[in-house]
Amino acid sequence: MDPNRDALDTAASLPLAAFSDRLTGALVTPDDDAYADARRVWNGMVNEYPAAVAYCERVEDVSVAVSFARDHDLDVAVRSGGHSVSGASVVSGGLVVDCSRLAWVRVDPDNRTARVGAGADWGLVDRATQSFGLATPGGVVSETGVAGLTLGGGTGYLSPKHGFAADNLRAIDVVTGRGERVTATPERNADLLWAARGGGTVGVVTAFEFDLHPLDHDVVYAESWVPAGCAGDVLRTYRTYQETAPDEACVSPYFARVPPAPEFPTDRHGDLAVVVAGVHAGDPGVGRDELGELVGGVDAFATSVDAMPYTELQSMLDDDFPTGRRYYWAAVPLAELHDDAVREARTAAERAPSDLSTIVFWPMHGAVGRAAADVGPIASRDASVVVNVEAAWDDPTATAANVEWVRETCRELRGDASLPGTLPNFAGGAAPDADDVYAERAARLRAIRTRYDPDGVFTYERG
């Protein structure tokens, strides 16, 4: 099978000239010079060949594109930031509805809300909201699209204080599978808003409205690099800390190889380490004392505690996740970070095929766990931590080994202390099964999808 040939044949069978005439934005097809770039997304592991890419300049373009796909029985992928790890933002033989040009943010500082276009990334949102001393939970890489992260839940440094990005979603504008424009709020089309709070694709969301929260001061970031042999002691200390951790603190330890950077001792380069990394978004003085005590262990070979603007924190990891690198991630929620899980994670980190890969323990305390049971479809909010297994590599021949490493690690972590479901942003692979991700809430989510997309224009899960 030649996916490029298939894309060309599908495109040739469609009335694309008439479709293009109805669009304000450009329509890119496989025989266009721009096609090679148009089909690429952030994750270099994803290599799909769509029949066409429709760049939407206006909401009307989205309606036209969805209606065209339905009329011609085309699979649809929605692309905003294009950062979907699973590759959900591009589809072979189908239509990519690209909303990246709908990039705008309008802040209402009096009501502490922000309306955000589907093409915005978190850097744009953070700069706009911080100009008023406000913020909402977002991702930890500024180039990540708002749309994909929010619809997949959206964990961030402010999540213990204010919940997931999805929890702060108060309204959406959507083009449904029928090509209709719908607004969803708690009072109108509330089921659609419920689904959008972490339920993945719910149509093409063209605008989001978020609650904002005061954040008019620097935040504190601290990290401590410790030899992996000390992981048991380090993570037991972390486990104790988490029992009473304040909402202002988001501490996420991880296993990683020491990079060949000047801030690390040369004899440690390439070694496996456990890194205690944390953010404190409360009073900077309190944050310095609290995190400084947590990361100040005598076994650390590199430690830092710094106060910085929130926008600087939010872009700090950008260079660690470059476009074109290959990524495959999955996650397991744990009721308790028990000693067996720590040993399994350390063993897995030691055998990782790529030195770029990490295993991260993401905290689930505070507002995440206190959210109302019916706020949205995300399962396992009562987890102590979610273990994110994040493979990253550059060698295309190493793909199979890295994917299997993630899957095997997750299988080993799934035990008596694991909980059903997982974080949607870390579901692993393309079109994951809803039962695996949303557990007992999957049936309700499927029913809502069917109501707004009775013809199955959008692809939601395998099978």
DSSP codes, 150-203 = HHT----TTHHHH--TGGGEEEEEEE-TTS-EEEE-SSSSHHHHHHHTT-S-SS
What are 313-319's contacts with CB under 8 Å, separation 24+? 313/157, 313/219, 313/221, 313/279, 314/122, 314/123, 314/126, 314/138, 314/140, 314/142, 314/157, 315/123, 315/141, 315/142, 316/221, 317/140, 317/141, 318/141, 318/142, 318/143
Look at strands 95-98 and 52-55 and give their pairing.
parallel
Q: Decide if pLDDT at 349 tops 70.
A: yes
Per-domain boundaries in the chain: 3-98, 105-215, 219-433
Q: Show the tokens assigned to 388.
A: 């994110």
- pLDDT at site 104: 98
> Which amino acid makes up residue 19?
F
Distance CA 424, CA 167 (A): 14
- The CATH topology of domain 219-433 is Vanillyl-alcohol Oxidase; Chain A, domain 3 (3.40.462)
Average of per-residue pLDDT across 85-98 = 93
Q: Show the tokens assigned to 329.
A: 């991630």
Q: Model confidence over 392-448: pLDDT tens digits?
A: 999 999 999 999 999 999 999 998 778 999 989 888 766 578 899 999 999 999 999
Helix (H, G, I), strand (E, B) or coil at 281: coil
**pLDDT > 70: percent of the chain:** 98
pTM of the model: 0.95
3-98 under CATH 3.40.50.2020, yes or no = no
Q: Model confidence over 115-129: pLDDT tens digits?
A: 999 999 999 999 999
Give the residue among 157, 165, 128 at the shortest CA–CA distance from 282: 157
- pLDDT at site 462: 47
Which residue did the predictor score with more confidence, 415 or 235?
235
pLDDT band at residue 86, thresholds of 50, 70 and 90?
A: confident
Q: Domain 105-215 carries which CATH code?
A: 3.30.465.10
Q: Using alpha carbons only, how large is the chain's radius of gyration in Å?
A: 22
361 contacts 156 by C-beta, under 8 angstroms: no
